[in-house]
Amino acid sequence: MYERRRHAYFLLMGGCLFLFVSAWAFVRLWSVPAAVGMCFAAMVIPPVAAMVANRRGPDDRWWDDPSGDPASDEWWDELDGKKRRQ
């Protein structure tokens, strides 16, 4: 699961870099508005790539899921204020 998200992230960021570099290296020679449009498209990709890379999969452990170690879970619950010390 992690490999697939990482692959998608690098694919999206590679596309972003390709759009940005090609916009100002080649496309601006024919059409500056098209180059600016490509840069605006490239501007939207990094936040989307970050959301794709940080998406929680069905098998991923979430930050507040119990770890299975009772002492550790009790300590974290106390730290988070979920349980009161007795």
In tens, the pLDDT along 58-80 reads 666 666 667 778 888 888 778 77
Q: Residues near 17 by Cβ (< 8 Å), separated by ≥ 6? A: 42
Distance in angstroms (rounded) separating the CA atoms of residues 52 and 40: 19
Does residue 2 lie within any of the structural domains? yes
Does residue 76 lie within any of the structural domains? no
* Rg of the Cα atoms in the chain: 22
Structure tokens that stand for 37 in this block: 């449009």
Does residue 37 lie within any of the structural domains? yes
The pTM for the full model equals 0.64
For residue 73, the model assigns a pLDDT of 80
Does residue 79 lie within any of the structural domains? no
Does residue 73 lie within any of the structural domains? no
Cα separation values, 86 from 4, 31, 83, Å: 45, 71, 9
Domain count, the chain: 1
For residue 64, the model assigns a pLDDT of 65
Confidence check: pLDDT of 57 > 80 = no
Predicted confidence (pLDDT) per residue in 12-29, tens digit: 999 999 999 999 999 999
Q: Do the Cβ atoms of 5 and 49 come closer than 8 Å? A: no
**What domain range is 29 assigned to?**
1-56
